[in-house]
Amino acid sequence: MDIEERLNEVLASLPEGVELVAVSKFHPEDDILRAYRQGQRVFGESREQELSRKYASLPKDIRWHFIGHLQTNKVKYIAPFISLIEAVDSLKLMKEINRQGEKCGRVIDILLELHLAQEDTKSGLTLDECRSLLADGEWRQMANVRICGLMMMASFTDDENQIRREMLAAAAFFEEVKAKYFADAEYFNRRSWGMSDDYEIALKCNSNTIRVGTRIFGPRQ
């Protein structure tokens, strides 16, 4: 199968209301264009330089999601064009996004990244860290940042029950945060979990944004 067929296969398996982020990191511009010609407009990248290069050369109606760990000193490069910064895991990073958003006259959409996986290597906020970040309230003063939902990566394991447990914990936490802080905010609606190996599980755990790379573009070099 080629990129076009694999993309269509993934798209055909998605219920209405679920957005596919085609994760194109490490894949060349030509591969992105193949998906683009099939109608795909949302792509995910995890390194600033690679994203900036691709942004410069590819069609401007692509909506880029930054899905990796973002260093504060890199925010300024993507602030003018990024559509969604998915993996925000500190107040410090939020403040810098707000500062850069103000500089370029944009309100930048972000997701808070939760750490629910077993591995220590995964980044993100524990539920309690996320609770205190929101309770602290400093984010309310950030006019150029908009918190649009939550993102997480499940453990890398064959144990589907564990993956499901982690994703259901994220889904429940989304409801908690929504009720407490964003009950009237329509824009707080994104639940980003599910990748190539676990997005079918994610769809049963209330995800509405899946980030799929390998399943579409093949293995990364």
Applying CB under 6 A, the residues found at the interface with ligand PLP are 23, 25, 46, 67-68, 153, 195-197, 211-215
Minimum CB distance to ligand PLP, residue 25 (Å): 6
**Residue closer to ligand PLP, measured from CB, 7 or 142:** 7
Whole-number minimum distance, CB 179 to ligand PLP, in Å?
Answer: 26
- Using a 10 angstrom Cβ sphere, with 0-12 exposed, 13-18 middle and 19 or more buried, the burial of residue 37 is exposed
DSSP label of 15:
P
CB of 19 to ligand PLP, least distance (A): 13
Angle between helices 29-37 and 48-57 (to 10 degrees): 60
- Residue 18, helix vs strand vs coil: coil
Q: Which is nearer to ligand PLP, 142 or 216 (CB)?
A: 216
CB of 81 to ligand PLP, least distance (A): 19
Least Å from the CB of residue 145 to ligand PLP: 20
Q: How far apart are CA 24 and CA 31, in angstroms?
A: 8
Residue closer to ligand PLP by CB (options 8, 196) is 196
Cβ proximity to ligand PLP, 85 vs 177, nearer residue: 85
- Which residue's CB atom is positioned nearest to ligand PLP? 213
Across 139-176, b (16+ Cβ under 10 Å) vs e yields beebebbbbbbbbbbbeeeeeeeebbebbebbbebbee
**Residue 203 and residue 216 in contact, taking contact as beta carbons nearer than 8 Å:** no
C-beta of 136 vs 200, nearer to ligand PLP = 200
CA 97 distance to own-chain centroid: 15
